[in-house]
Amino acid sequence: MEIRLAEDLMDANNRVAAKLKSHLSKKGILTLNFLSSPGAGKTTLIEKTLQRLKGLAKTAVIVGDVQTSRDKQRFEEGGFDAVQINTEGGCHLTAPMVEKALDSLELDALEILFIENVGNLVCPAGFQLGEDMKVVLLSTTEGDDKPGKYPAAFFSAQAMIITKIDLLALTNFDLDFAKKDALRINPKLKIFEVSSLKGEGMVDWVDWLLHRAKRKRRDLKLPDGCTL
Ligand code: MG
Ligand code: ZN
């Protein structure tokens, strides 16, 4: 009975997600759903990505946390459009939450929508939000053994970003092991190694993102010299 109820809830969520995906796709908006454990650097990565996309793509962020508007404030201080969702105890975002948040955004002007999920590597993997793709973050400070421990997050993502790569030498994180473990679960996973704060790896990530956005919207500009 409990399992049946959970399946019904998931079905209801995924029906709303399918509607959102079709709506966002018709408008040519590339939508990304960012997953990671708390503290892996989702907000910082998105902030630094938005800075690099200035003048190249029109962006907005929907950010989910259990409580507080701290992340929304950070985005707004950087001059970016952001909507905060507080789940009030919920450990993941749902499609109806995103549907409501979309009311606060000017969708006709939008080209890339970033959805920062609640920090949690478990259930966000199972809830579609209308995204084109999930992006999973794994930081060098949280350990190289996470892909095998939380396979659904890595299986459901199209890209994995290994964050805090500048701290690699200070940790016992085995980069090769982490990448192999993730690729064993999902051989198609595109992997980036990034330091959001120091800038390492950001050009490749942003170029990759812009090319995906361009596929959805042909009039999007690409940076000079972009070769990907
Ligand atoms: Mg955050
Ligand atoms: Zn959850």
**Using CA atoms, how far apart are residues 185 and 204, in angstroms rounded to an integer?**
23
Q: Tell me which of 3.30.70.580, 3.30.43.10, 3.40.50.300, 3.90.1150.110 is the CATH number of domain 2-20+31-219.
A: 3.40.50.300
Give 41-62 pLDDT, tens digit per residue.
999 999 999 999 999 999 999 9
Give 69-123 pLDDT, tens digit per residue.
999 999 999 999 999 999 999 999 999 999 999 999 999 989 999 999 999 999 9
> What is the per-residue pLDDT for 228?
55
**Using CA atoms, how far apart are residues 71 and 83, in angstroms rounded to an integer?**
9
Ligand nearest, relative to CA of residue 42: 1
Token reading at 7: 């399946």
Taking phi over 0 as left and psi of -120 to 50 as alpha, with beta for the rest, 41 belongs to left
- What is the residue whose two structure tokens read 């999902």? 186
Residue 190 Cα distances to 85, 121, 145, 180, 186, angstroms: 28, 18, 18, 12, 9
Q: What letter would DSSP give residue 64? A: E
Domain ranges of the chain: 2-20+31-219
**Using CA atoms, how far apart are residues 97 and 17, in angstroms rounded to an integer?**
10
Ligand nearest, relative to CA of residue 9: 2
Predicted structure pTM score: 0.93
Centre of ligand 1 from the C-alpha of residue 214, in Å: 26
Say which residues have a Cβ less than 8 Å from residue 225's Cβ, sequence separation at least 6: none
Centre of ligand 2 from the C-alpha of residue 170, in Å: 32
Centre of ligand 2 from the C-alpha of residue 92, in Å: 4
> What is the per-residue pLDDT for 220?
66
**Using CA atoms, how far apart are residues 157 and 150, in angstroms rounded to an integer?**
12
